[in-house]
């Protein structure tokens, strides 16, 4: 049954909601069918800036420095990937992942681009 792929045995949606601000993300939890831990946000938005969404907080400084490992300091993407990993581990077999993201704004474009790269 295809509908069973969208929800688990307890009726929770197999979704992860990510945004740069809590306002919209918290509304999804009020509907009762999304695990609280599957809502990911940070305390400050991306200011409609692709670089801030893609690179994280270091994009605020000139040069968009990277960490010693060569990765960005994008805590939002790291947290989202951890939640996605946990959700995939709940499955017997993960057949794929659908990503819906905006092409505008810092979170939709920047974080969305970075998440797609990380998932790949």
Residue 73 bridge partners (DSSP): 56
- 85: which residues sit within 8 A by CB, 6+ positions away? none
pLDDT at site 9: 80
- 34: which residues sit within 8 A by CB, 6+ positions away? 12, 13, 15, 17, 28
Q: Which has more confidence, 81 or 7?
A: 81
Tell which residue, 114, 97, 110, 100, has the closest CA to residue 17: 100
pLDDT at site 68: 46
CATH of residue 74: 3.40.50.1440
Q: What is the pTM of this model?
A: 0.80
Number of domains in the chain: 1
The string of pLDDT tens digits covering residues 23-45 is: 878 877 666 788 889 999 888 78
Contact 56, 75 (CB under 8 A): yes
The string of pLDDT tens digits covering residues 55-81 is: 887 666 555 555 444 455 788 899 999
Tell which residue, 73, 38, 68, has the closest CA to residue 54: 73
Range of the domain at 59: 2-119
């Amino acid at each position: 049954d295809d509908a069973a792929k969208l929800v688990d045995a307890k009726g929770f949606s197999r979704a992860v909601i990510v945004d740069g601000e809590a306002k919209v993300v918290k509304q999804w939890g009020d509907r009762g069918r999304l695990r609280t831990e599957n809502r990911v946000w940070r305390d400050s938005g991306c200011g409609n800036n692709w670089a801030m969404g893609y690179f994280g907080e270091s994009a605020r400084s000139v040069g968009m420095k990277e960490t010693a490992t060569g990765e960005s300091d994008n805590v939002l993407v790291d947290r989202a990937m951890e939640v996605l990993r946990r959700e995939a581990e709940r499955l017997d077999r993960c057949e794929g992942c659908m990503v819906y993201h905006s092409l505008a704004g810092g979170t939709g474009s920047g974080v969305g681009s970075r998440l797609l790269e990380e998932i790949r």
